[in-house]
Protein backbone atom coordinates (compact mmCIF):
# COMPACT_ATOMS: atom_id res chain seq x y z
CA UNK A 1 0.00 0.00 0.00
CA UNK A 2 1.36 3.47 -0.88
CA UNK A 3 1.70 6.09 1.82
CA UNK A 4 -1.17 8.52 2.23
CA UNK A 5 -0.33 11.90 0.75
CA UNK A 6 -1.89 15.35 0.50
CA UNK A 7 -0.51 18.44 -1.25
CA UNK A 8 -1.86 22.01 -1.19
CA UNK A 9 -0.40 25.18 -2.61
CA UNK A 10 0.13 27.24 -5.75
CA UNK A 11 -0.04 26.04 -9.35
CA UNK A 12 0.72 27.44 -12.80
CA UNK A 13 0.96 25.97 -16.29
CA UNK A 14 1.78 27.50 -19.67
CA UNK A 15 1.05 25.72 -22.94
CA UNK A 16 1.03 26.20 -26.70
CA UNK A 17 -2.73 26.78 -27.07
CA UNK A 18 -3.65 30.33 -28.03
CA UNK A 19 -6.49 30.82 -25.54
CA UNK A 20 -8.11 28.52 -22.94
CA UNK A 21 -6.46 25.18 -23.70
CA UNK A 22 -9.04 22.85 -25.22
CA UNK A 23 -7.74 19.68 -23.55
CA UNK A 24 -10.08 20.09 -20.58
CA UNK A 25 -13.02 19.82 -23.01
CA UNK A 26 -11.54 16.78 -24.78
CA UNK A 27 -10.63 18.71 -27.91
CA UNK A 28 -7.29 18.58 -29.72
CA UNK A 29 -4.83 21.36 -28.80
CA UNK A 30 -3.42 23.91 -31.23
CA UNK A 31 -1.02 22.25 -33.70
CA UNK A 32 -2.64 18.92 -32.64
CA UNK A 33 0.02 18.37 -29.94
CA UNK A 34 0.44 19.69 -26.40
CA UNK A 35 3.68 21.22 -25.19
CA UNK A 36 3.26 22.44 -21.63
CA UNK A 37 5.33 23.38 -18.59
CA UNK A 38 3.73 22.99 -15.15
CA UNK A 39 4.89 24.01 -11.70
CA UNK A 40 3.65 23.58 -8.15
CA UNK A 41 4.73 25.22 -4.92
CA UNK A 42 3.68 23.01 -2.02
CA UNK A 43 2.68 25.30 0.84
CA UNK A 44 1.45 22.39 2.95
CA UNK A 45 2.01 18.74 2.14
CA UNK A 46 3.04 15.33 3.38
CA UNK A 47 3.74 11.85 2.09
CA UNK A 48 3.20 9.55 5.05
CA UNK A 49 5.35 11.13 7.72
CA UNK A 50 7.59 12.95 5.20
CA UNK A 51 6.93 16.70 5.29
CA UNK A 52 6.86 18.22 1.78
CA UNK A 53 5.91 21.77 2.78
CA UNK A 54 7.78 24.67 1.13
CA UNK A 55 9.12 22.56 -1.73
CA UNK A 56 8.45 23.10 -5.43
CA UNK A 57 7.97 20.69 -8.33
CA UNK A 58 8.15 21.17 -12.09
CA UNK A 59 7.04 19.08 -15.04
CA UNK A 60 7.28 19.16 -18.82
CA UNK A 61 4.84 17.27 -21.02
CA UNK A 62 4.99 16.73 -24.77
CA UNK A 63 2.19 14.66 -26.26
CA UNK A 64 1.52 12.70 -29.38
CA UNK A 65 -0.97 14.10 -31.85
CA UNK A 66 -4.59 14.06 -30.79
CA UNK A 67 -6.68 14.84 -27.73
CA UNK A 68 -4.35 15.04 -24.72
CA UNK A 69 -6.62 13.05 -22.37
CA UNK A 70 -7.79 10.48 -24.92
CA UNK A 71 -6.69 7.03 -23.72
CA UNK A 72 -4.65 6.38 -26.86
CA UNK A 73 -2.55 9.58 -26.61
CA UNK A 74 0.96 9.04 -25.27
CA UNK A 75 2.92 11.59 -23.24
CA UNK A 76 6.66 12.12 -22.79
CA UNK A 77 7.36 13.63 -19.39
CA UNK A 78 10.20 15.26 -17.48
CA UNK A 79 9.81 15.72 -13.71
CA UNK A 80 11.91 18.32 -11.88
CA UNK A 81 12.41 17.80 -8.16
CA UNK A 82 13.42 20.78 -6.02
CA UNK A 83 17.12 20.64 -5.16
CA UNK A 84 16.17 21.88 -1.68
CA UNK A 85 14.52 18.50 -0.97
CA UNK A 86 16.41 15.92 1.05
CA UNK A 87 16.65 12.27 -0.02
CA UNK A 88 13.38 11.20 1.62
CA UNK A 89 11.51 14.19 0.21
CA UNK A 90 12.88 13.58 -3.29
CA UNK A 91 11.80 9.95 -3.16
CA UNK A 92 8.32 10.97 -1.95
CA UNK A 93 7.88 13.55 -4.72
CA UNK A 94 8.94 11.00 -7.33
CA UNK A 95 6.49 8.43 -5.94
CA UNK A 96 3.63 10.95 -6.10
CA UNK A 97 4.30 12.55 -9.47
CA UNK A 98 5.44 9.39 -11.23
CA UNK A 99 2.16 7.73 -10.27
CA UNK A 100 3.48 5.13 -7.86
CA UNK A 101 1.41 6.41 -4.92
CA UNK A 102 -2.14 6.59 -6.25
CA UNK A 103 -4.26 9.64 -6.97
CA UNK A 104 -4.52 11.42 -10.32
CA UNK A 105 -0.89 10.74 -11.21
CA UNK A 106 -1.42 6.98 -11.04
CA UNK A 107 -4.18 7.30 -13.64
CA UNK A 108 -1.94 9.51 -15.80
CA UNK A 109 0.99 7.09 -15.60
CA UNK A 110 -1.15 4.05 -16.36
CA UNK A 111 -2.94 5.66 -19.30
CA UNK A 112 -0.56 8.13 -20.94
CA UNK A 113 3.09 8.15 -19.90
CA UNK A 114 5.32 6.43 -22.45
CA UNK A 115 8.64 7.92 -21.30
CA UNK A 116 9.67 9.76 -18.15
CA UNK A 117 12.88 11.43 -16.98
CA UNK A 118 13.54 12.78 -13.50
CA UNK A 119 15.99 15.61 -12.79
CA UNK A 120 16.95 17.57 -9.68
CA UNK A 121 17.12 21.32 -10.19
CA UNK A 122 16.85 24.63 -8.35
CA UNK A 123 13.26 25.87 -8.58
CA UNK A 124 12.42 29.52 -7.94
CA UNK A 125 8.63 29.84 -7.61
CA UNK A 126 7.06 33.23 -6.86
CA UNK A 127 3.41 34.26 -6.65
CA UNK A 128 1.76 37.61 -6.08
CA UNK A 129 -2.00 37.16 -6.36
CA UNK A 130 -2.58 36.02 -9.94
CA UNK A 131 0.95 36.87 -11.08
CA UNK A 132 3.34 33.89 -11.22
CA UNK A 133 7.03 33.54 -11.99
CA UNK A 134 8.90 30.23 -12.17
CA UNK A 135 12.53 29.51 -13.02
CA UNK A 136 13.77 25.91 -13.09
CA UNK A 137 17.54 26.00 -13.39
CA UNK A 138 18.46 27.17 -16.88
CA UNK A 139 15.77 24.93 -18.41
CA UNK A 140 12.38 26.55 -17.78
CA UNK A 141 11.38 30.21 -17.61
CA UNK A 142 7.70 30.90 -17.07
CA UNK A 143 5.85 34.10 -16.16
CA UNK A 144 2.07 34.33 -16.31
CA UNK A 145 -0.77 36.41 -15.01
CA UNK A 146 -4.50 36.13 -14.62
CA UNK A 147 -6.66 36.87 -17.67
CA UNK A 148 -9.65 39.04 -16.84
CA UNK A 149 -12.93 39.18 -18.71
CA UNK A 150 -15.15 42.13 -19.63
CA UNK A 151 -16.09 42.51 -15.95
CA UNK A 152 -12.41 42.94 -14.99
CA UNK A 153 -12.49 39.70 -13.00
CA UNK A 154 -10.06 36.85 -13.65
CA UNK A 155 -11.99 34.00 -15.22
CA UNK A 156 -12.13 30.36 -14.19
CA UNK A 157 -12.41 27.07 -16.04
CA UNK A 158 -13.67 23.66 -15.01
CA UNK A 159 -13.10 20.73 -15.00
CA UNK A 160 -9.34 20.85 -14.54
CA UNK A 161 -7.91 17.51 -13.37
CA UNK A 162 -5.04 18.82 -11.24
CA UNK A 163 -6.95 20.19 -8.27
CA UNK A 164 -9.59 18.66 -6.04
CA UNK A 165 -12.41 21.11 -6.83
CA UNK A 166 -11.66 21.02 -10.57
CA UNK A 167 -11.44 24.83 -10.86
CA UNK A 168 -8.43 26.94 -11.90
CA UNK A 169 -8.11 30.52 -13.06
CA UNK A 170 -7.58 31.61 -16.64
CA UNK A 171 -4.31 33.27 -17.52
CA UNK A 172 -1.85 34.30 -20.17
CA UNK A 173 1.89 33.71 -20.24
CA UNK A 174 4.34 36.48 -20.97
CA UNK A 175 7.29 34.07 -20.94
CA UNK A 176 7.08 30.30 -21.46
CA UNK A 177 10.38 28.90 -22.70
CA UNK A 178 11.87 25.43 -22.30
CA UNK A 179 15.31 24.13 -23.25
CA UNK A 180 15.95 20.63 -21.92
CA UNK A 181 16.81 18.51 -24.97
CA UNK A 182 15.64 18.20 -28.57
CA UNK A 183 12.29 16.74 -27.52
CA UNK A 184 11.68 19.41 -24.89
CA UNK A 185 12.63 22.71 -26.47
CA UNK A 186 10.02 25.37 -27.18
CA UNK A 187 8.93 28.97 -26.81
CA UNK A 188 5.18 29.29 -26.37
CA UNK A 189 5.27 32.71 -24.73
CA UNK A 190 2.11 34.79 -25.01
CA UNK A 191 -0.27 31.85 -25.04
CA UNK A 192 -2.61 30.14 -22.61
CA UNK A 193 -1.90 29.71 -18.90
CA UNK A 194 -3.91 28.21 -16.07
CA UNK A 195 -3.10 29.16 -12.50
CA UNK A 196 -4.24 29.46 -8.91
CA UNK A 197 -4.49 27.26 -5.83
CA UNK A 198 -4.34 23.49 -5.98
CA UNK A 199 -5.10 20.55 -3.72
CA UNK A 200 -4.39 16.90 -4.52
CA UNK A 201 -4.43 13.72 -2.47
CA UNK A 202 -4.62 9.95 -2.86
CA UNK A 203 -7.35 9.43 -0.28
- Indicate whether 104 pLDDT > 70: yes
Q: What percentage of the chain has pLDDT greater than the value 90?
A: 94
- pLDDT value at position 203? 80
Residue 66 makes CB contacts below 8 A (sequence gap 6+) with 28, 32, 72, 73
- pLDDT value at position 20? 85
Average pLDDT in the 102-126 region? 97
* Contact between residue 38 and residue 59 where contact means Cβ atoms under 8 Å apart: yes
- pLDDT value at position 1? 62
pLDDT tens digits, 23-33: 999 999 988 99
- Indicate whether 21 pLDDT > 90: no
Amino acid sequence: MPEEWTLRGDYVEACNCDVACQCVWMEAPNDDICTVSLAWHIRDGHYGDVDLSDLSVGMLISTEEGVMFAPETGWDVVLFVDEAADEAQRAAIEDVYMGRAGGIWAAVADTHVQSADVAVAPIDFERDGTDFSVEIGDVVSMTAGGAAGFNDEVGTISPHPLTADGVVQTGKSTTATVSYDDAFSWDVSGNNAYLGDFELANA
